[in-house]
Amino acid sequence: MTGAVAAFLIITAYLTATLSGIFGMAGGLVLMGALALVLPVAAAFATHGILQFVSNGWRAFLQRDHIRWTIVGWYALASAAAAGVVSLLAINPSKPVLFLLLGLVAMLVWLPKNWAELDAAKPLHALISGFAVTAVNLTAGVAGPLLDIFFVRTKMTRHQIVATKAATQVFSHAAKILVYGGLAWRTADAMPPIWVFALAIPASMAGTATGGLVLDRMSDAGFKRWTAWVVTAIGAIYLIRAGAIW
């Protein structure tokens, strides 16, 4: 791996963790696309899983007083089931398909709020969320907009939403590491060297803290409005990219 690519990954880890710290999901979308630009698909999935596991885990720790643990528990149970199913299917999408899926997943933010009466605070809905979000995460690389559908109806503050979503995504990204990690490390030259992770992980943690400071200064209404438009812009870029390399 060249120094330029390594520096790109480290800087991207910081910037995308900052985005996630503010919006709860936009950073993961950007990071997955950035990794897919410079790494093979399996390595991009595994690397994304590692960095996002740390980013979400650290965000959940910083916001731990706001986590709704009942939701996390039901989500984790279904997430494990989804990981087992996807691992048996041995899915490994090509880069054009990956960018197409990333763009389509981003557009889920515009599903009408009355499309489905989903609420992550309900145990059954939390289970559905865990299975569906983890399955999409393991095929498209990210699933933040899908996860968001289960939170738009909850009577939770922006801090509770970001904290609880972060805690649930720890399990989705752990599944990504387990499913794709072995495949990526069998071709070890495709994975970033350990020293890149040693620098990118603290950069991700710093970005998470930075994003949290911005989140504190936003209103609940502003948080929801900006999330939709930021994610839409990212999704449009991915759809264009998919068409360009198909």
Distance CA 104, CA 116 (A): 18
Nearby residues of 106 by Cβ (< 8 Å), 6 or more positions away: 29, 145, 231, 232, 234, 235, 236, 238
Whether the CB-CB separation of 215 and 27 falls below 8 Å is answered with: no
Q: What is the dihedral of CA 10, 199, 27, 40, to 10 degrees?
A: 60
| Mean pLDDT of each 10-residue bin along the chain, 246 residues long | 89 89 78 90 89 87 93 96 89 86 86 76 94 92 85 83 92 91 68 91 89 80 75 89 84
pLDDT score of 78: 96
pLDDT of residue 173: 92
| Whole-prediction pTM | 0.84
pLDDT on residue 202? 93
pLDDT for the residue numbered 113: 63
Give the pLDDT of residue 59: 84
